Amino acid sequence: MAYADYDADATELLETYDFLMKFIIIGEAGTGKTCLLHQFTHNSFKEHSQHTIGVEFSSRTVKLGEKRIKLQLWDTAGQERFRSVTRSYYRGAAGAILVYDITSRASFSKLSRWLEDARALGSPHLVTVLVGNKSDREEEREVEWAEASRWAAEHDVHFLEASSLSGDNVEAPFLLCARSILLAIEAGTLDPEKAGSGVSYGDRALRRVNSSSRLSFGSLSGSRRKSTTVRLKIPGTGVRCC
Ligand SMILES: Nc1nc2c(ncn2[C@@H]2O[C@H](COP(=O)(O)OP(=O)(O)OP(=O)(O)O)[C@@H](O)[C@H]2O)c(=O)[nH]1
Ligand SMILES: [Mg+2]
């Protein structure tokens, strides 16, 4: 699917939604996960971003065709000392945004481990999108696009490069991930009613089920974007989070 198919303006705040999907954002520390998410939810670059302590939660509702999808976004810390805490948030994730830094070969070399963990703990139908972040720093590039693209194909994940700084391609990984999950639902390979699928029906879909005993999706107007961010206290770390 061409990323150009996505229309950023089609992303809206909506009171109701058809599906709720759980996403995790994972990858080495400093790759720009928090900045990527901040750009996606706030449409601006987060200056002076500090290491994430444990996990931070935010959400955004997007529109894909006639369907409204609320994304629950779990931004995890990349630092090793938080690994056991952050892994506990992988459970039942429907989508994973796996981030490396194109100027850091070290962050690329560790991708397999992140992917293994996500596949072991996430939904059996986990959809993963690999993001090579910091594409604005071309002169310092250590990982070529072709190499990352090959890695993605070998590991059966989607791939693109983005810049949280410029905003380039920041929406695409989230929309691509949601769209792949939606296609799996429509194809019948993913059942939102199954525990651990990482997806559930939203109130809009449920209302339609109740009124017609059959799902259908009509159009509804709405134009504001809403995002929420909640910071969490991490038990056992002695740290009051964020
Ligand atoms: N040039 C450039 N810098 C970026 C970009 N995204 C993030 N950064 C910088 O990279 C550093 C780390 O960004 P974060 O978003 O905090 O990294 P993180 O992956 O969340 O790190 P942890 O929370 O420790 O796992 C910060 O100094 C950001 O300003 C980008 O697209 N381009
Ligand atoms: Mg972070």
Q: For residue range 170-188, what is the model confidence (pLDDT) as tens digits?
A: 999 999 999 999 999 999 9
Give CA–CA dist 178/118, Å, rounded. 17
Residue nearest to ligand 1 atom 13, measured at CA: 32
Which residue's C-alpha comes closest to atom 16 of ligand 1? 49
Q: Is 32 in the pocket of ligand 1 (CB under 6 A)?
A: yes
Q: What are the backbone dihedrals phi and psi of residue 130, each rounded to the nearest 5 degrees, phi first?
A: -85, 130
What is the structure's pLDDT at 3?
A: 44
CATH of 12-216 given 2.170.150.20, 3.30.360.10, 3.40.50.300, 3.40.50.1820: 3.40.50.300
Amino acid at 51: H
Is 52's C-beta closer than 6 angstroms to any atom of ligand 1?
yes
Cβ of 137 closer than 6 Å to ligand 1, yes or no, is: yes
User: What integer is the mean pLDDT of 205-220?
Assistant: 47
Only one residue has tokens 């070399």, namely 109
Give the number of the ligand closest to the Cα of residue 32: 1
User: How confident is the model over 13-68, as pLDDT tens digits?
Assistant: 445 899 999 999 999 999 999 999 999 999 999 999 999 999 999 999 999 999 99
The full DSSP string for 47-82 is TTPPPP-SEEEEEEEEEETTEEEEEEEEEE--SGGG
Residue with CA at minimum distance from ligand 1 atom 15: 32
* pLDDT at residue 182, as a whole number: 96
Alpha helices (runs of H) in 31-163, residue ranges in sequence order: 33-42, 83-87, 105-109, 111-121, 145-154
In total, the chain counts a number of residues equal to 242
Nearest in space to 165 (alpha carbons), one of 28, 78, 36, 60: 36
Residue 242's pLDDT is: 29
pLDDT per residue over 58-109, tens digit each?
999 999 999 999 999 999 999 999 999 999 999 999 999 999 999 999 999 9
**Distance (Å, rounded) from C-alpha 210 to C-alpha 191?**
18
* Nearest residue to 195 via CA among 57, 58, 70, 91: 91
- Whole-number pLDDT of residue 74: 98
According to the model, what pLDDT value does residue 210 have?
55
Confidence class for position 148, pLDDT limits 50, 70, 90: very high
Residue 29 CB neighbours (<10 A): 15
Atom 7 of ligand 1, residue of closest alpha carbon: 32
For residues 127 and 183, the answer to whether their CB atoms sit within 8 Å is no
169 lines ligand 1 (CB under 6 A): no
- State the CB neighbour count (10 A cutoff) for residue 182: 20
**Ligand 1 center–CA 33 separation, angstroms:** 6
Q: What CA–CA distance (Å, rounded) separates 175 from 1?
A: 11
Report how far ligand 1's centroid is from the alpha carbon of 135 (Å): 12
Q: What confidence category does residue 202 fall into, taking pLDDT thresholds of 50, 70 and 90?
A: confident
